[in-house]
Amino acid sequence: MLIKVKNPADVTENDVTDAQLFAQRRSFIRASGQIALGTALGTLFTPSIVDARGQPLKAKKNTRFNTSETLSSYQDVTSYNNFYEFGTAKEDPAINARHFKAQPWTVKVDGAVNKPGNYAFEDIINLNQLEERIYRFRCVEAWSMVVPWVGVSLASFINQFQPSSKAKYVEFTTLYDPKRMPGQNRAVLNWPYVEGLRMDEAMHPLSMMVVGLYGEVLPNQNGAPLRLMVPWKYGFKNIKSIVRIRFSEHQPKNTWQIAGPKEYGFYANVNPQVDHPRWSQKRERRLGEFLKRETLMFNGYADEVASLYQGMDLRKNF
Ligand SMILES: Nc1nc2c(c(=O)[nH]1)N[C@H]1C(S)=C(S)[C@@H](COP(=O)(O)O)O[C@H]1N2
Ligand SMILES: [Mo]
């Protein structure tokens, strides 16, 4: 079934939070004891749930991908999330994904590829070859953060499957399991969540397959056990909890494009000159900061990626 939602901001908590989920959240907030109120975002209500930090991961700092900008706090990065499979409010994923089990995990690889198959997570991610990269991250909703991600280059990850010359695009799919992902019981999006990249975007050195952050295993709410990080694109391209990777000749339809084709395109490159139909994209609020800052073309990665889009009308290809 295909239900159209206008955009994340238009879905209020009341629309999507049933009584049971609400009760669960209340009792959790009571149990957690500590509640952080009044963040820079004003109305945000953030229970402090980050008590069980993840397992440490060994990762080599990749100094080529760095920034002198202040890192967003671990607390912000792990408690202010978009992951509609676990609820549509920013604090929902941290609460509702607490007991999600991201192991064992299998990824299906198919389509235009020489080594298709069902792969165990351990067989496609070498935990001894992880690197840390600090990237800016910019949500289409005009908030942003700076995060030390841990993972591998998406190119090296993809190359192990040997895509064929017919592979012009790569499509990623999130787990569909409403028992484990309670948000999928509501038709707020067309499940399962799907995203895609053009092959040259996927193979770009900035693109990353992420398995951790802040030197630790990826928290469930951030997309455990593996999610994309393509830092010059809006946040929604960075699909979480991936179970399928398909190579194809044709441009895939991504979930947000299906939900609102006038508002969300395939490319979703951060572009301050092209407004969202209902709000400006010129500025953004960095989590933890009060004053807005200017949004940079391609999220500040123009020198690296602008050539990928040479000759394309970025107003049409938004
Ligand atoms: N499967 C899935 N992936 C998803 C989403 C989602 O709802 N489901 N939300 C996207 C959006 S809109 C954003 S901004 C980022 C948020 O990532 P973070 O919670 O790690 O900051 O995840 C993206 N990936
Ligand atoms: Mo987003």
Residues 144-157 have pLDDT tens digits of 999 999 999 999 99
Other residues' Cβ atoms within 10 Å of the Cβ of residue 56? 12
> Which residue's alpha carbon is nearest to atom 12 within ligand 1?
236
> Picking from 8-12, 55-59, 143-147, 243-247, which range would have the lowest pLDDT averaged per residue?
8-12
Give pLDDT, residue 5.
Answer: 42
Tens-digit pLDDT profile for residues 227-236: 999 999 999 9
Give pLDDT, residue 162.
Answer: 98
* pLDDT band per the 50, 70, 90 thresholds, residue 226: very high
221 CA to centre of ligand 1 in angstroms: 9
What sign has the CA pseudo-torsion 89, 95, 96, 98? Answer: positive
State how beta strands 143-153 and 283-286 pair. Answer: parallel
> Which residue's alpha carbon is nearest to atom 5 within ligand 1?
83
139 CB less than 6 Å from ligand 1? Answer: yes
Tens-digit pLDDT profile for residues 20-50: 333 344 333 333 433 333 334 333 443 444 4
Give pLDDT, residue 1.
Answer: 36
> Which residue's alpha carbon is nearest to atom 20 within ligand 1?
222
Of the ligands numbered here, which is closest to the C-alpha atom of 256?
A: 1
145 CA to centre of ligand 2 in angstroms: 12
Instruction: Check residue 207 and give left, alpha or beta (phi > 0: left; psi -120 to 50: alpha).
Output: beta
Mean pLDDT within 8-12 = 42
205-241 burial, b for 16+ CB within 10 Å, e for fewer?
ebbbbbbbbbbbbbbbbbbbbbbbbbbbbbbbbbbbb
Mean pLDDT within 254-269 = 98
174 CB less than 6 Å from ligand 1? Answer: yes
> Which residue's alpha carbon is nearest to atom 15 within ligand 1?
235
Give pLDDT, residue 52.
Answer: 54
220 CB less than 6 Å from ligand 1? Answer: no
Contact call for residues 209 and 239 (beta carbons, < 8 A): no
262 CA to centre of ligand 1 in angstroms: 20
- Count of positions (residues) in the chain: 318
Q: Please state, in angstroms and rounded to a whole number, the distance separating the CA atoms of residues 142 and 9.
A: 11
Mean pLDDT of the chain, nearest integer: 88
Mean pLDDT within 99-122 = 98
**Over 90: is that where the pLDDT of 11 sits?**
no
Mean pLDDT within 102-110 = 98
Instruction: Tally helices (H) and strands (E) across the chain.
Output: 9, 15
- Ligand 1: nearest atom to the Cα of 223: 20
Mean pLDDT within 277-282 = 98
> Which residue's alpha carbon is nearest to atom 19 within ligand 1?
81
Q: Is 42 exposed, middle or buried (0-12, 13-18, 19+ CB in 10 A)?
A: exposed
Mean pLDDT within 127-154 = 98
Closest CA to 196 of 177, 225, 176, 173: 173
Tens-digit pLDDT profile for residues 54-91: 899 999 999 999 889 999 999 999 999 999 999 999 99
State how beta strands 242-248 and 106-111 pair. Answer: parallel
Ligand 1: residue of 73, 82, 136, 242 to mutate (most ligand atoms within 8 A of CB) is 82
117 CA to centre of ligand 2 in angstroms: 31
Mean pLDDT within 294-306 = 98
| Cross-strand partners of 286 | 144
In the structure encoding, which two tokens stand for residue 148, read together?
A: 């030390």
> Which residue's alpha carbon is nearest to atom 11 within ligand 1?
236
For 91, phi and psi rounded to 5 degrees?
-90, -10
> Which residue's alpha carbon is nearest to atom 23 within ligand 1?
236
227 CA to centre of ligand 1 in angstroms: 9
Give pLDDT, residue 116.
Answer: 98
Residues 6 or more apart from 261 whose CB is under 8 A from it? none
Task: State the pTM of this model.
Answer: 0.86
172 CB less than 6 Å from ligand 1? Answer: no
Q: Please state, in angstroms and rounded to a whole number, the distance separating the CA atoms of residues 101 and 95.
A: 14
Q: Please state, in angstroms and rounded to a whole number, the distance separating the CA atoms of residues 266 and 306.
A: 16
Of the ligands numbered here, which is closest to the C-alpha atom of 78?
A: 1
Structural domains in the chain, sorted by start: 13-309 (3.90.420.10)
Give pLDDT, residue 54.
Answer: 84
